Amino acid sequence: MKKSVNTSSHSVLKVSNLTKDFSGIRAVNQVSFELSSGSITAVIGPNGAGKTTLYNLLSGNLAPTSGSVKLEGKEIVGLTPDRIVQAGIGRSFQITSVFPNLSVEQNIRVAVISRQQKQFDFWNNLESDRALNEAIREILNLVGIETLAKSPVSLLSHGDRSLVELAIVLALKPNLILLDEPTAGMSREETQRIVQLIKHLQQSTDCTFLITEHDLDVVFNLAESIVVMHQGKIIAKGNYQEISDSSEVRRVYLGT
């Protein structure tokens, strides 16, 4: 998971004219943008702007009506969600998706086994697999939850569950991580912890991040680039200052 020495930036994701229709309603309309390696980009917009549909298109949970999505230069439209994960896109959800009856360590173990495409073998106990256990320890330390390793997920706070889900995503070794409302329902302290963790992961891994988030303080604190959607279209792209200065953004997003 360590960041590679070569820090030259290149395009990780290129979305071109992505469109999705639902029974005559255009939820995503000719959306195009590009993500550079190692960057943090935020997609914002009012409810109904098309953000969730966009995420479902990128992760393969929905098939687009038209358009292209290229990951590291390779077309991924038409791939199943599991193939897209294998290609290098990991996604965390607004509602955490973990195995609550398993421990934190066991949840991460499942993800690492899945990524390594291991199968259970009665003659080879996976719990004694040194490389596997080392990979799990690395993820626990990276996210800062090593003290929670033996804790059942069902007993964790909402904030800690979100950290576990992010650890599971990281265990899949993605090039691109989609974060869907990563601070939703969190206290201010938990929110700051997530913000600092994402910054740490940007600096210490090769991952690129795309986030949706309603908390604009989080967006402006994290994102180097911001994409603003409204009624399925992109109405603005730019950095914090450019978005803040946009009269169109203020009109449709901030209500001024």
DSSP per-residue letters across 93-110: -SS----TTSBHHHHHHH
Dist. CA 20–CA 27, nearest whole Å: 6
pLDDT of 112 over the 50 cut: yes
16-31 pLDDT tens trace: 999 999 998 999 999 9
DSSP letter string over 191-204? HHHHHHHHHHHHHH
pLDDT of 120 over the 60 cut: no
User: Dihedral of CA 196/201/202/207: which sign?
Assistant: negative
Dist. CA 178–CA 207, nearest whole Å: 10
Residue 9: pLDDT band (50, 70, 90) is: confident
Residue 110: pLDDT band (50, 70, 90) is: confident
Dist. CA 50–CA 46, nearest whole Å: 9
61-71 burial: b if 16+ Cβ within 10 Å, else e: ebebeebebbb
- Report the pLDDT averaged over residues 37-49: 94
Enter the pTM of the model: 0.88
pLDDT of 59 over the 90 cut: yes
